[in-house]
């Protein structure tokens, strides 16, 4: 069987976390009543003009810096034309010619063979980040042959992050997106919750034989979670391989992922190739950004965006946080991944460590095995844990001081989980789980047991 | 009495209480009615105008007028948004569309206490040079009904209808020019993309100012070509234009293409010395088709400056002849883009077609737009196609740069102001004008005015003299970027020299008696 090289690239749209939209003052809010967050500009009323939102620019610069991009000190806005009910102006304002950031990279980690203990780091190149408008939403009501249009989302700021086709499978794509998500959430530039449409991923997939040129690629859309991303990509790779091995050809088309069937299907024909008739946006002058060197002396700093100023204030990125956790606490790298993967878990862990004498290397076991599994079982986020870090630390201290055994500790933990407000010590006393340290006391207990079970003892002695 | 003093005197009269703002408003409204045959107005906002006039009157009585424009009636071209008042762009697409907001320029005038009389007629979506191609029909040049024109008309055979002689206003801001010219208001807003304010100003014998691009906010002006459009100012004298400019210019945060610098309103000096000036006469503006009459006037004007001690030299703007084609590509491309929003979904006309979204869009746009608009959309989309973009749009942008550089070079060489004709001839009769299509006419008529829009420069048309047919001819001054003060100062000097005659408008009243309009101007 000839070997195939799958090639996967991603186009990710992240909704910018801001109070108002990219070019207008209307509010950004999820699940508001339809058409309640629409300004005259968003509705494309004639005579209205775009005004650039500074916060959106800062979000894009932050993201660009976090992804090791070059920030273009001059970037341009363009119009991309097509007709659709959710695009009131008949064009989207985007950055096609010169985007705000280019040539970056993102490092992500994967487990080899599903073993957490073997992680490998990979890198994907970031082609560019561009600012653009989100479209509205249209809902097709086939029963009444009508389309309902909600423009609340029309004009919300997006960062489109283009990842080069450096990935080779669903797992890599998923890991890359997961890391991007964490970065965006750490920066605060996007809340990046896929379920709320704040992070949308389209995958470009193709296959070719080693040494041969890249194959025809398809675009896969309608992917609603990271899990489905991996599935969709892997399915599409398989589909293309099978198609080609059966002598078929791959069409340069757009396919939708059907999560129920677990496969990709061709999307309704979009009238062949679209010519977007790109044209410079004449109502927006070039976006000029400054750094410490180029900032004019008497410029009002409220009026400009200073790249260096933003760089200095970047928070620790996930990769840095993980490294710090490993160094500070001596935990394994894979542990640090899990800690960061759950919102608030790293903080929880650190709080427990602060309040207990138990070594972090032992604490981590309790966090990742006990606490986390309970949280998962009950589908609770860390912040809703009935066991606070204080209580857990308290429990671990009892264990560390050998006042209880580890199996007893697990029982106490189960009780704590009920959230009845009892302290670990109270539970221990209630259930008589104290470890007996006194020699005489122990002898007494053993004697009692032997006395009760005389027959068994005689059998044992006789052998 | 000259037109220059008229507005000053009205202001003084308002201040001194010799005439009330309400009276003034009512007179203008009544005049609008009796000159209705000019078809200059699309909407007359009688109720709101009288209310505004009342408010102004109260302020004057308290001795607290907002400024020199308080109580002064003005009109606005129907492509500017006016809150609560229909804004149609003379198109079926926006018939019945009530703006929910005021364009910045409208708001600024209202904030000064000026009284908005109504919206004026234009070519549909400002596409045209005659103000003849809108759904409300053509605008008639008030000079068609002037004694000066009638006197010069050739003797008619009995069967010929006087009606067929009327001449066009030029365009596309013809309604605004006619409104000012016929004394129904003291100032009007137009728009200027390729000459749409200066052209009708020249044909209607009024002052038409095109400010520097970026000086006055376009927020609320329904765009034709975003990179060239400017709001235009039409008045009866240069001083009035300076006053209106003073209230409109300045940065608008709602329009990102306005410059940040603070604008300082200015008053024009009364004594002007042109001896230190260098006037440039661009030889390329001696365009094919330029009437010998206008050529002679242009020459005479140059002599005027020379005799007064100014330096007058011939200069060259070599890329002038490419501006028409360049403009055509860039204009249609932007039009195609700007008109994409008219789909019937959110506002405006919607066709009664339910088969699919696409068919609804297609029917709406076919029904809503006239041929001119549709033609430009098709051309524009063609130029924007991926395979054509480089050869047409990019090329045109490069040529535009060359045209703009022509001016930069000339101004850098010591020339202060350029003097050119505004139009190739005086106004033609409507029946003549419609013999050629809109595209041909626009290409012909924009040739002398367009380059200033390409380069973003300020330009003004000043009524100079009457043609041998008794119709106004204007000459144009083009200045340096943001040097409106110098431009208007020179224009004012010129205006003083030429002493352009006042129109002797003869209007039949409903009682069939003819009265002379100039009398109604004197409120004193």
pLDDT digits (tens, 9 = 90+) for B57-93: 999 999 999 999 999 999 999 999 999 999 999 999 9
Which residue among B257, B342, B393 places its CB closest to the CB of A285?
A: B257
The whole-angstrom distance between A286's CA and the closest CA on chain B is 10
For residues A413-438, one letter each, b for 16 or more C-beta atoms within 10 angstroms of the residue's C-beta and e for the rest, the string is bebbbeeeebebbebbeeeebeeeee
Shared domain for A335 and A284, answered yes or no, is no
Alpha carbons B73 and B177: distance in angstroms, whole number: 14
Residue at A436 is within a domain? no
Q: For residue A107, is it within any domain?
A: yes
Are A45 and A106 in a shared domain?
yes
Residue B79 lies in a domain: yes
CA–CA gap between residue A280 and residue A93 (Å, rounded): 9
Q: Is B496 left (phi over 0), alpha (psi -120 to 50) or beta?
A: alpha
Q: Is residue B240 part of a domain?
A: yes
Alpha carbons within 13 angstroms on the beta-carbon side of residue A309 total 14
What pLDDT, on a 0 to 100 scale, did the predictor assign at position B514? 40
**Interface residue B389 vs chain A (CB under 8 A):** yes
Mutate to test the interface with A, among B100, B345, B353 (most CBs of A within 10 A): B345
- CB–CB contact B333 A283 (8 Å): no
Residue A281 shares a structural domain with residue A369: no
Is the minimum CB–CB distance between B355 and chain A shorter than 8 Å?
no
* Interface probe, candidates B83, B340, B394, chain A, greatest A C-beta count within 10 A: B340
Q: Residue A65 in 3-state DSSP?
A: helix
pLDDT > 80? residue A387? yes
Instruction: Answer whether the bond into residue B172 is a cis peptide, omega within 30°.
Output: yes
Q: Which residues does chain A have within 8 Å of residue B220's beta carbon, measured at their own beta carbons?
A: 47-48
Domain-embedded: residue A208: yes
DSSP letters, A220-259, are: EEEE-SHHHHHHHHHHHHHHHHHHHHTT------EEEEET
Q: Which of B101, B357, B384 faces A40 most closely, judged by CB atoms?
A: B101
Q: What is the 3-state secondary structure (H, E, C) of A286-354?
A: CEECECCCCCCCCCCCCCCCEHHHHHHCCCCCHHHHHHHHHHHHCCCHHHHHHHHHCCCHHHHHHHHHH
CB proximity B464 to A under 8 Å: no
Local confidence band at A458 (pLDDT 50, 70, 90 cut-offs)? confident
Residue A141 binned pLDDT confidence (cut-offs 50, 70, 90): confident
Overall number of domains in chain A: 2
pTM for this model (two decimals): 0.91
Q: Which of residues 402-441 of B touch A (CB under 8 A)?
A: none
Does A265 share its domain with A327?
no
Is-catalytic flag, B172? yes
Pairwise CB contact (< 8 Å): A278 & B389: yes
Q: Which residues of A lie inside 8 Å of B (Cβ-Cβ)?
A: 40, 43-52, 79, 81, 83-85, 88-91, 145, 147, 149, 275-279, 282-285
Name the minimum distance, in Å, from the CA of A295 to any CA of chain B.
17
Cα B351 from Cα B362, distance rounded (Å): 9
> Is A442 part of a structural domain of the chain?
no
Q: Please give the pLDDT value at position A420.
A: 84
Interface test with A, best of B253, B261, B346, B353 (most A CBs within 10 A): B346
Q: Give the pLDDT of residue A268.
A: 67
Poorest-pLDDT segment among A50-64, A177-191, B10-24, B282-296: B10-24
What percent of chain A shows pLDDT beyond 90? 70
Query: Which residues on chain A are in Cβ contact (under 8 Å) with B227?
Result: 282
CA distance to partner chain B, nearest, from residue A38 (Å): 11
pLDDT confidence bin for A272, thresholds 50/70/90: low
Q: Could you list the residue range(s) of the whole structural domain that residue A355 is in?
A: 318-431
Q: Which two tokens stand for residue A198?
A: 């704040």
Section B483-507 average pLDDT: 95
Whether A437 is in a domain gets the answer no
**CA distance readout (Å), A328 to A49, A307, A325, B144, B490:** 52, 31, 5, 91, 77
A79: nearest CA in chain B? Answer: B337
- List the single residue in A with minimal CA-CA distance to B224: A47
| Model confidence at B162: pLDDT above 70 | no
> Tell me: the pLDDT tens digits for B304-338?
999 999 999 999 999 999 999 999 999 999 999 99
In terms of average pLDDT, the best of A263-272, B433-442, B479-488 is: B479-488
CB contact under 8 A, B345 and A149: yes
Question: Which residues constitute the domain of residue B432?
Answer: 20-152+164-324+393-498
**Helix-strand-coil split of chain A, %, nearest 5:** 40, 20, 40
Q: Residue A3 carries which DSSP code?
A: -
Of the ranges A187-191, A408-412, A432-436, B262-266, which one carries the lowest mean pLDDT score?
A: A432-436
Do B14 and B21 contact (CB within 8 A), yes or no? yes
pLDDT > 50? residue B519: no
Residue B362 has pLDDT above 80, yes or no: yes
pLDDT band at B522 (very low <50, low <70, confident <90, very high): very low
- CA dist A50 to A45, A92, A130, A370, B348, Å? 12, 12, 17, 53, 21
Which whole-number Å values give the CA distances from A195 to A19, A202, A226, B188, in the listed order? 20, 15, 10, 54
B225 CB burial (10 A radius; 0-12, 13-18, 19+): buried
CA-closest candidate to residue B203, choices B423, B453, B38? B423
Which residues in chain B have Cβ-Cβ distances shorter than 8 Å to A279?
Answer: 333-334, 337, 384, 393
Among A86-100, A111-125, A159-173, B389-403, the minimum mean pLDDT is found in A111-125
Residue A205's SS3 state is strand
- Of A85, A88, A283, nearest to B226 by CB-CB distance is A283
Across the range A206-229, mean pLDDT stands at 94
- Residue B443 has what pLDDT? 82
Residues of A in contact with B103 (CB under 8 A): 47
Instruction: Give the residue among B510, B502, B498 at the shortest CA–CA distance from B143.
Output: B502
Q: What is the pLDDT of residues B482-494, one digit of tens each?
A: 999 999 999 999 9
For the beta carbon of residue B289, count every other beta carbon within 10 angstroms. 9
Q: 């040529």: which residue's tokens?
A: B399
3 state DSSP class of A140: strand
Q: Do B393 and A47 touch (CB under 8 A)?
A: no
Per-residue confidence at B164, pLDDT binned at 50, 70, 90?
confident
pLDDT value of position A86: 94
Q: Does residue B265 sit within a domain?
A: yes
Quote the crossing angle between the two packed helices B104-111 and B238-248, to the nearest 10°: 110
Percent of chain B with pLDDT over 90: 85
Rounded CA-CA distance B75/B96 in Å is 19
What pLDDT shows up at residue B524?
A: 25
* Residue B518: other Cβ atoms inside 10 A: 15
Yes or no: say if A78 and A278 are a contact pair by the CB < 8 Å rule: yes
Rounded to the nearest angstrom, the minimum Cα separation between A291 and chain B is 21
Closest CB to B333: pick one of A91, A147, A279: A279
Answer yes or no: do B336 and A277 touch at CB < 8 A.
Answer: yes
**Rounded mean pLDDT, A73-77:** 98
**Two tokens, residue B54:** 């009342």
Statement to judge: residues A361 and A284 lie in one domain: no
Scan for tokens 């910045």, then name that residue: B104
The mean of the pLDDT values for chain B is 92
Q: Is residue B438 part of a domain?
A: yes
Three-state SS for B125? helix
Asked if the Cβ–Cβ distance from A47 to B358 is below 8 Å, we say no
Torsion sign across C-alpha atoms A286, A291, A294, A299: positive
Instruction: Extract the tokens encoding A326.
Output: 């490993």
What are the residues whose beta carbons fall under 8 Å from the beta carbon of A280, sequence distance 6 or more? A76, A77, A78, A79, A97
The pLDDT mean for chain A works out to 91
Within 8 A of B358 by CB-CB distance, chain A residues are 83
Catalytic residue among B11, B20, B56, B77: B77
pLDDT at A436: 73
Higher-pLDDT residue of A378 and B192 is B192
At B6, the pLDDT band (50, 70, 90 cuts) reads low
Nearest-by-CA chain B residue for A80: B337
Q: pLDDT at residue B513 above 50?
A: no
Which residue, A6, A7, A5, A9, is CA-closest to A202? A9
Beta carbons of B223 and A47 less than 8 Å apart: yes
CATH number at residue B314: 3.90.1300.10
Q: List the single range of A61-65, A179-183, A439-443, B340-344 with lowest mean pLDDT.
A: A439-443
Q: Between residues A60 and B271, which one has the greater pLDDT?
A: A60
The end-to-end CA distance of chain B, in Å, is 12
Dihedral of alpha carbons B237, B240, B244, B246, sign: positive
- Give the mean model confidence (pLDDT) for residues B153-165: 65
Chain A: residue whose CA lies nearest to B221: A47
Q: Is B159 left (phi over 0), alpha (psi -120 to 50) or beta?
A: alpha
Lowest mean pLDDT among A135-139, A378-382, A401-405: A401-405
CB contact at 8 A, B105 and B189: yes
Interface with chain B: mutation pick from A40, A46, A147, highest number of B CBs within 10 Å = A46
pLDDT confidence band for A1 (50 / 70 / 90): low
Task: Tell me the mean pLDDT in the region A388-401.
Answer: 90
Strand-strand pairing, B417-421 and B278-282: parallel
Helix, strand and coil percent figures for chain B, each rounded to 5 = 45, 15, 40
Q: SS3 of B80, please?
A: strand
Q: Is B80 on the interface with A (CB under 8 A)?
A: yes
**Are B159 and B177 spatial neighbours (Cβ–Cβ below 8 Å)?**
no
Report the 3 state secondary structure along B362-422.
HHHHHHHCCHHHHHHHHHHHHHHCHHHHHHHHHHHHHHHHHHHHHHHHHHHCCCCEEEEEC
The answer on A241 and A335 residing in a single domain is no
pLDDT digits (tens, 9 = 90+) for B37-54: 999 999 999 999 999 999
Distance CA A25, CA A20 (A): 5
**Smallest Cα–Cα separation from B457: which of B323, B274, B357?**
B323
For the segment B283-310, the average pLDDT, to the nearest whole number, is 96
Distance of CA A262 to the CA centre of its chain: 22
Number of domains in chain B: 1
Q: What is the pLDDT of residue B161?
A: 55
pLDDT at A411 over 50: yes
Residue A302, pLDDT > 90, answer no
Whether A79 and B257 lie within 8 Å, measured CB to CB: no
Residue B371 neighbours by CB under 8 Å, 6+ apart = B438
Residue A440 has pLDDT above 90, yes or no: no
Q: Cβ of B101 under 8 Å from any chain A Cβ? A: yes
Is the pLDDT at B2 greater than 70? The verdict is: no
CA dihedral angle for residue B431, residue B433, residue B435, residue B437, rounded to 10 degrees: -140
In order of A258, A338, B398, B475, the CA distances from B468 in angstroms are 78, 91, 41, 16
Region A167-175: what's the mean pLDDT? 96
What are the chain B neighbours of A282 within 8 Å (beta carbons)? 225-227, 257, 334
Position B523 scores a pLDDT of: 32
Give the three-state DSSP class for A104: strand
Q: Which two tokens stand for residue A290?
A: 């400054």
Question: Smallest CA–CA separation between A48 and chain B, in Å?
Answer: 6
Lowest-confidence range among A224-233, A259-268, B19-28, B494-503? A259-268
Q: Cβ contact (<8 Å) for A44 and B94?
A: no
- C-beta separation of B169 from B427 below 8 A: yes
Q: Is the pLDDT of residue B354 over 90?
A: no
Q: Are residues A327 and A222 part of one domain? A: no
Q: Give the distance from residue A344's alpha carbon to the nearest chain B alpha carbon, in angstroms.
A: 41
Nearest CA in chain B to A287: B256
* B435 assigned to active site: no
């Amino acid at each position: 069987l000839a070997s195939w090289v799958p090639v996967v690239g991603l186009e990710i749209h992240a909704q910018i976390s801001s109070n108002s939209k990219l070019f207008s003052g209307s509010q950004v809010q999820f699940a508001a009543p339809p058409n309640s967050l629409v300004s005259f500009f968003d509705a494309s009323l004639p005579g209205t003009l775009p005004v650039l939102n500074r916060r959106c620019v800062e979000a894009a610069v932050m993201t660009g810096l976090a992804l090791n991009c070059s920030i273009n000190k001059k970037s341009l806005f363009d119009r991309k034309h097509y007709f659709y009910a959710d695009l009131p102006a008949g064009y989207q304002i985007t950055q096609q010619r010169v985007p705000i950031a280019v040539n970056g990279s993102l490092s992500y980690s994967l487990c080899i063979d599903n073993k957490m203990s073997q992680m490998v780091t990979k890198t994907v190149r970031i082609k560019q980040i561009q600012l653009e408008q989100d479209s509205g939403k249209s809902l097709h009501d086939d029963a009444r042959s009508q389309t309902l249009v909600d423009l609340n989302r029309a004009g919300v700021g997006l960062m489109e992050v283009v990842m080069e086709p450096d990935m080779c499978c669903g797992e890599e794509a998923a890991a890359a997106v997961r890391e991007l998500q964490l970065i965006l959430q750490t920066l605060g530039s996007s809340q990046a919750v896929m379920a709320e449409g704040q992070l949308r991923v389209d995958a470009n997939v193709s296959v070719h034989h080693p040494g041969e040129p890249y194959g025809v690629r398809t675009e896969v859309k309608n992917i609603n979670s990271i899990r489905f991303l991996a599935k969709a990509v892997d399915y599409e790779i398989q589909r293309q391989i099978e198609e080609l091995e059966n002598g078929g050809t791959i069409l340069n088309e757009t396919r939708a992922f059907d999560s129920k069937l677990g496969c990709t299907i061709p999307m309704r024909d979009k009238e062949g190739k679209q010519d977007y008739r790109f044209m410079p946006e004449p109502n927006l002058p070039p976006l000029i950004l400054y750094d410490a060197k180029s900032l004019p002396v008497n410029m009002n700093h409220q009026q400009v965006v200073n790249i260096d100023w933003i760089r200095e204030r970047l928070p620790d990125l996930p990769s840095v946080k993980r490294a710090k956790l490993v160094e500070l606490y001596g935990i394994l790298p894979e542990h640090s991944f899990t800690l960061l993967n759950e919102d608030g878990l790293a903080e929880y862990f650190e709080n427990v460590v602060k309040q207990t004498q138990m070594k972090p290397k032992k604490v981590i076991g309790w966090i990742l095995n006990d606490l986390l599994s309970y949280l998962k079982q009950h589908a609770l986020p860390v912040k809703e844990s009935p066991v606070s870090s204080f209580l857990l630390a308290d429990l671990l201290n009892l264990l560390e001081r050998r006042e209880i055994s580890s199996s007893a500790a697990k029982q106490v933990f189960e009780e704590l989980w009920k959230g009845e407000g009892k302290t670990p010590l109270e539970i221990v006393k209630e259930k008589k789980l104290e470890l007996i340290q006194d020699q005489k006391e122990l002898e007494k207990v053993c004697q009692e047991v032997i006395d009760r079970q005389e027959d068994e003892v005689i059998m044992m002695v006789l052998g | 009495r000259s037109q220059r003093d008229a507005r000053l005197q009205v202001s003084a009269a308002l201040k001194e209480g010799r005439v009330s703002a309400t009276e003034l408003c009512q007179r203008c409204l009544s005049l609008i009615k009796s000159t209705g045959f000019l078809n200059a107005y699309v909407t007359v906002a009688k109720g709101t105008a009288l209310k505004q006039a009342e408010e102004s009157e109260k302020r004057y009585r308290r001795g607290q007028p907002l400024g020199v424009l308080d109580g002064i009636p003005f009109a606005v071209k129907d492509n500017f948004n006016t809150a609560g008042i229909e804004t149609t762009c003379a198109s079926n697409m926006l018939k019945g569309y009530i703006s929910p907001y005021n364009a910045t320029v409208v708001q600024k005038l209202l904030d000064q206490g000026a009284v908005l009389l109504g919206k004026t007629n234009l070519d549909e979506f400002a596409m045209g040079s005659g103000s003849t191609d809108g759904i409300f029909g053509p605008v008639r040049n008030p000079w068609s009904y002037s004694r000066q024109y009638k006197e010069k008309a050739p003797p008619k055979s009995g069967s010929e209808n006087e009606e067929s002689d009327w001449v066009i206003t030029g365009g596309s801001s013809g309604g605004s020019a006619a409104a000012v010219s016929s004394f129904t208001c003291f100032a009007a807003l137009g728009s200027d993309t390729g000459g749409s304010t200066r052209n009708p100003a020249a044909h209607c014998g009024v002052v038409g100012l095109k400010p520097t691009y970026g000086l006055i906010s376009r927020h609320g002006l329904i765009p034709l070509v975003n990179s060239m459009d400017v709001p235009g100012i039409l008045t009866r004298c240069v001083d009035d234009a300076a006053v209106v400019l003073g209230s409109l210019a300045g940065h608008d945060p709602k329009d990102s293409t306005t410059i940040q610098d603070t604008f300082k309103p200015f008053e024009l000096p009364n004594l002007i010395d042109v001896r230190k000036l260098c006037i440039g006469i661009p030889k390329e503006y001696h365009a094919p088709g330029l009437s010998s009459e206008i050529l002679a006037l242009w020459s005479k004007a140059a002599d005027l400056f020379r005799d007064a001690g100014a330096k007058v030299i011939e200069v060259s703007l070599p890329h002038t002849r490419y501006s028409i084609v360049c403009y055509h590509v860039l204009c249609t491309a932007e039009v195609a883009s700007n008109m994409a929003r008219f789909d019937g979904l959110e506002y405006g006309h919607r066709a009664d077609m339910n088969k699919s979204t696409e068919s609804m869009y297609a029917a709406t746009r076919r029904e809503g737009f006239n041929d001119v608009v549709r033609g430009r959309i098709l051309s524009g989309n063609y130029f924007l196609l991926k395979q054509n973009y480089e050869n047409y749009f990019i090329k045109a942008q490069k040529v535009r740069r060359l045209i703009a550089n022509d001016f930069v070079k000339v101004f850098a060489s010591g020339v202060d102001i350029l003097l050119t004709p505004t139009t190739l001839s005086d106004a033609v009769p409507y029946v003549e004008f419609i013999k050629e299509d809109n595209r041909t006419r626009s290409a012909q008529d924009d040739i002398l005015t367009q380059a200033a829009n390409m380069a973003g420069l300020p330009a003004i048309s000043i009524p100079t003299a009457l043609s041998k047919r008794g119709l106004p001819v204007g000459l144009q001054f083009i200045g340096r970027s943001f040097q409106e003060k110098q431009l208007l100062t020179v224009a004012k000097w010129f205006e003083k020299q030429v002493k352009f005659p006042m129109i002797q408008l003869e209007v039949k009243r409903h009682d069939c008696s003819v009265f002379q309009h100039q009398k109604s101007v004197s409120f004193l």
